Structure 1
Amino acid sequence: MSRTELRLSLQIAFTYIGTVVGAGFASGQEILQFFTLLGPYAYAGILLATFMFGWVGIKILLLGRKLEAGSYRELTAYLFGPKIAGAIDTFMMLMLFFVTVAMLAGVGALFEEQLKISFQIGVLVTMVLTFLTILRGMKGIMIANTIIVPIMLVVVLTIFTKSFLQTDHLPNLHAIKDVEPWRWITSGISYAALNLGLAVSVLVPLGGEIKSTRALKLGGLLGSIGLGVMLLGAQYAMSTRMPGILEFEVPMGFLSSTFNPLMKALFTVALFGEIYSTLIANVYGLGSQLASPRRPVQGYLITVLILTAAFFVAQVGFSNIVQYLYPVFGNLSFLLLLVLLWPRAKLKN
C-alpha cells in the first residue's frame, strides 16, 4: 500500500470514528447505559459492537463505492426498492434532523455550564463553524475529523491510564446485580445498529467518493478498532467508580474533574469536538439528500435552512429528544442492519 493510500485510510478511519461518536459517547452516558450496567459482561458487549462496526462499516463503505453514491438515497433504494425506500428516506431525514437538534441543544448546554457563555451564543457559533466546514464538502468533514478525533483519543486514553494507575479505585464489576448473561449480545448489537444507522449518512457518500477499495477496507478496519479502544478505555475508567458514578449526568466529565484542571479543560474541548463532528455529519447527510450535487448554491441554502430550523427546535432541550426519539431510531437502524446483511446478488466492482 502506498503512502497516499495509507494517509487516505487514516482520514477515512478518523471520519468514521468522528461520525459515530457524539454527545452520548463523550459524556459517558451511552457507554454507561449500554455496557457499564452489564457488570462483568460489559467487555464482551463492547467486543461484539467493535466487530459489528468493522464488518458492517466496511460493507457500507464498499456499497457506497460500488453504487457510486452521492447520498444514502442510493443505498436505501438498493436495499429496499424504490417504493419502500421513499418512506425509509423520509424517516431517516427526520431522525437526522432531530439528532442535529439534539447536538445543537447539547453544545448550547456545554457552553452555558462549562464556559459560562450564553446558550444562544454557543449554538450560533457552532452553527457558523458547521456551515463553513460543510462548504468544503466531504473534504471539509475529513479534515475536521482528522483534527478532532486524535484529541478525543488522547483524552479517553489519558482518563483510562490515570484510572488504571489509581490503586485506591479498582474496577467494580459486580456493583450491578442480577444481569442476564445474554444481555451483552443485545446491547452490543443495539449499540452498533444505532450508531451505524446515524453513520450511514456519511459512510455511503464517503465510499462513493473514494475510489480505492484497499483504502476503504483499511479505513473501516482502523476506524472500528479505534472505536473499540475508546469504548474499552472509557468502560474501564467508569467501572472504577461504580456504583457512585451512576449519580452523574456526565460520568466522563466527573472522571476528568477528579484529576486536574487541565484534564477537565481537555475533556471540554473533546466533548465539543465530538458534538461538532456528529453535527457536521448529520447536516451534510441531510443536505446531500435534499440538494442536487450539480447545484452547489442550492446545497448551501438548504444547509442554512436546516441549521436555522434546528436552532429554533433546539429550544425544546436535549433530554426530551433523546428520551422519545432515540429508541425509535434505534429500532429502524436495527431493521436497516438486518436488510443490509441479508444475502443478495453481488454488485460488480
Structure 2
Amino acid sequence: MQKSAALRSVQLALAFVGLLVGAGFATGAEVIQYFVGFGEVGIGGALLAGVLVAVGGAVALQLGSLFLAADHKVVFRSVSHPVMARILDAVVTVTLFAIGFVMLAGAGSTLAQQLGWPVWAGAALMTAMVIVTGMLDVEKVSAIIGMITPLIIIAVVAGFAYVVATHEGPFTVNDSLAVQAVTPVSPWWLSSINYFGLVVVMAVSMCVVIGGSTSSPREAFVGGLVGGVVYTVLLVLASVLLYLGYAELGTADVPMLQLFASIHPALGWAMVVVIYLMIYNTAIGMFYALGRRLTAERPGLYRPAFVGVTLAAFAVSFLGFGDLMNYVYPALGYLGIVLAVVLLVWWAAHRDDIAAESGLRLRLLALLRLREHPEKTFTRQHAVILQETAEESVAPTETVTEMMEADAVAVIEAEDPDLLPAADETAGRGGADHGGADGSAAARG
C-alpha cells in the first residue's frame, strides 16, 4: 500500500512538471524574459521562483483532492467569498485560453525555426494534436503528460552538463549580452514573483482537476511538492544553460532550440521534437481544463466546446509568439499573484481541517476495505459508521464514497488478486452480499 501511494505521488509529480514545462521554459524564451535578462542575479531569481512554484503547486493539488473537484470553480467557491470566487473563475478561464493560444503560436515558431515551415503550419499541426487528445478522459490525459515529461528532463540535464563542461572564461562572460534582453517585469525579484503568479494562474485549473482525481490530500500534496522541487531544479539548470550559452542564441524566437542546434545539428533535430511535445503538454492541459470549465453545467457539450475554443485560439495565435509572450505573460502573472494569495491564505488557515479530512479518508478506506473483502465481516454497525463518516467529509458524500471504494478494491487486489471475484460474477450477485454506505443493505457475516 505504501508503495502504491508513493507511485501515485510520483505520477502526480510528473504530470505537474509536464504541465508547466511547455509554457515555463521549454522554448527558452520564457527563461530569458524572466531570469537570464537580469544577468547573474537572474539565476537566483529562478531559484526563488522555483521554490514558490513548489509550494503553490502542492497547495493547488491538495485543494483539488480535498474537495474532489472536477473543475477549479469548486475550489474557488470553497475557499473564498462568492464574489471573489466568480472573479477568480473568470481570471483562470481567460488564462487557460490565453496560455493556450500562446502555446499554439510557440509551436508554429518552433517548426518554422527548425524546419522552415510557415508559422501557421506548425500551429495547425499542434491544434490537430490537441483536438484529438482532448477526446480522452482526465486520467488518460494525465498519463500522457507524465510519460512525455522525462524527455525534457533528460534534455535540460544533458545540455547543462555539456555547456558547463565546455564553457571557457569566467561564469559571467556573457553577462553584458544577457542584460540586453527584453525583461517586461523588473526588478529581478518582482520578475520572479510575477513568474510564480503566471505559473499559478496557468496551472491551477488542471492541477485542481488532477488533484481531484486523487482521494488522498496527503498524496496530492507530496506529489505537488516533489514535482515542484523537480521543476525548480530544471528551471535553475535551464537558466544557467541559457546564460552560459547566450552568445549562441542571437535573436531566435526559440532560444533553447537554437542553443542545442549550435552544439550539433542532430541535437537540434532531437530538441525540436522535445520542445514541440512539451508545448503540446501545456496546450492540452490548458484546453482540456478550459473545455471542462465551460461545460461544467452541461458536460454533454464538452466536445464541441473544446473543439470550438481550440480553433478560436488557433486564429489568435497568428499574432505571433514573441509579441504575445511579452505582453500576455506579465499581465497574467500579476493576476496570478492575487489568486495565489487567496489559495495560500486559506490553506494556511485550514491546515488542521485538511489533516482531519486526510484521517477521515483513511477511516473510510479501512471501512470500505472491510466491506469489500470477501473474507471479512462487515456488520450493520459498520455500515452506519461508514455512512456517518462519509457525511462528515468536506467532499460530496457519494463522490468520496465511490472514490474510496475504488481505492479499497485496488488495495485488496494488490494484496491478493485471487480474493476478489471476476467482474461478471460481482455483477451477477448485484451487490446484495454487502452493506452499502447508507447502511440499508444486509451485512455480510
Q: Which deviates further from its counterpart, 136-145 or 59-68?
A: 136-145
TM-score, normalised to structure 1, is 0.89
Rounded to whole Å, the distance in 1 between the matches of 2:269 and 2:224 is 30
Are the equivalent residues in 2 in contact too, given 1:58–1:221 (CA < 8 A)? yes
Report whether the alignment pairs 1:171 with 2:171: yes
Report whether the alignment pairs 1:240 with 2:262: no
Residues 34-75 of structure 1, C-alpha deviation per residue, up to 9 Å, x if partnerless?
Answer: 222333323322222222122121111111111221111122
Amino acid at match of 1:333: G
Rounded to whole Å, the distance in 2 between the matches of 1:171 and 1:287 is 46
2:316 maps to 313
- In the TM superposition, residue 257 of structure 1 has moved relative to its aligned partner by 1.4
- In the TM superposition, residue 336 of structure 1 has moved relative to its aligned partner by 0.9
Q: Which runs of 5+ in 1 are unaligned?
A: none
Amino acid at match of 1:70: A
Rounded to whole Å, the distance in 2 between the matches of 1:98 and 1:264 is 28
Are the equivalent residues in 1 in contact too, given 2:49–2:195 (CA < 8 A)? yes
Rounded to whole Å, the distance in 2 between the matches of 1:258 and 1:330 is 32
Rounded to whole Å, the distance in 2 between the matches of 1:244 and 1:255 is 6
Residues 213-239 of structure 1, C-alpha deviation per residue, up to 9 Å, x if partnerless?
Answer: 343133112211211121121122222
2:231 maps to 227
Amino acid at match of 1:37: G
Question: Cα 1:3–1:262, aligned 2, differ >3 Å: closer, same or farther?
Answer: farther
Secondary structure of 2:175 counterpart: coil
Secondary structure of 1:21 counterpart: helix
TM-score, normalised to structure 2, is 0.71
**Higher relative contact order (CA closer than 8 Å, sequence separation 6+):** 1
Residues 152-174 of structure 1, C-alpha deviation per residue, up to 9 Å, x if partnerless?
Answer: 11111111011011043652177
Report whether the alignment pairs 1:339 with 2:330: no
Q: 1:254 aligns with which of 244, 255, 258?
A: 258
2:11 maps to 11
Rounded to whole Å, the distance in 1 between the matches of 2:93 and 2:157 is 34
Question: Cα 1:325–1:50, aligned 2, differ >3 Å: closer, same or farther?
Answer: closer
- In the TM superposition, residue 293 of structure 1 has moved relative to its aligned partner by 7.5
Rounded to whole Å, the distance in 2 between the matches of 1:91 and 1:204 is 15
Report whether the alignment pairs 1:103 with 2:103: yes
Greater Cα radius of gyration, structure 1 or 2 = 2
CA RMSD of aligned residues (A): 2.5
Rounded to whole Å, the distance in 2 between the matches of 1:258 and 1:269 is 16
Secondary structure of 1:135 counterpart: coil
- In the TM superposition, residue 320 of structure 1 has moved relative to its aligned partner by 3.4
Question: Cα 1:260–1:119, aligned 2, differ >3 Å: closer, same or farther?
Answer: same
- In the TM superposition, residue 331 of structure 1 has moved relative to its aligned partner by 0.9
Superposition pairs of residues 1-349 of structure 1, within 5 angstroms: 2-23=2-23, 25-168=25-168, 170-172=170-172, 175-176=175-176, 183-242=187-246, 245=249, 247-292=251-296, 295=299, 297-342=300-345, 343-346=348-351, 347-348=353-354, 349=357
Secondary structure of 1:70 counterpart: coil
Rounded to whole Å, the distance in 2 between the matches of 1:164 and 1:282 is 34
Question: Cα 1:168–1:63, aligned 2, differ >3 Å: closer, same or farther?
Answer: same
Amino acid at match of 2:223: G
Are the equivalent residues in 1 in contact too, given 2:26–2:275 (CA < 8 A)? yes
How many residue pairs end up in the alignment? 345
- In the TM superposition, residue 100 of structure 1 has moved relative to its aligned partner by 1.1
Secondary structure of 2:81 counterpart: helix
Question: Cα 1:113–1:246, aligned 2, differ >3 Å: closer, same or farther?
Answer: closer
Secondary structure of 1:171 counterpart: coil
Question: Cα 1:239–1:320, aligned 2, differ >3 Å: closer, same or farther?
Answer: closer
Are the equivalent residues in 2 in contact too, given 1:101–1:313 (CA < 8 A)? yes
Amino acid at match of 2:80: F
Q: Which runs of 5+ in 2 are unaligned?
A: 181-185, 358-445
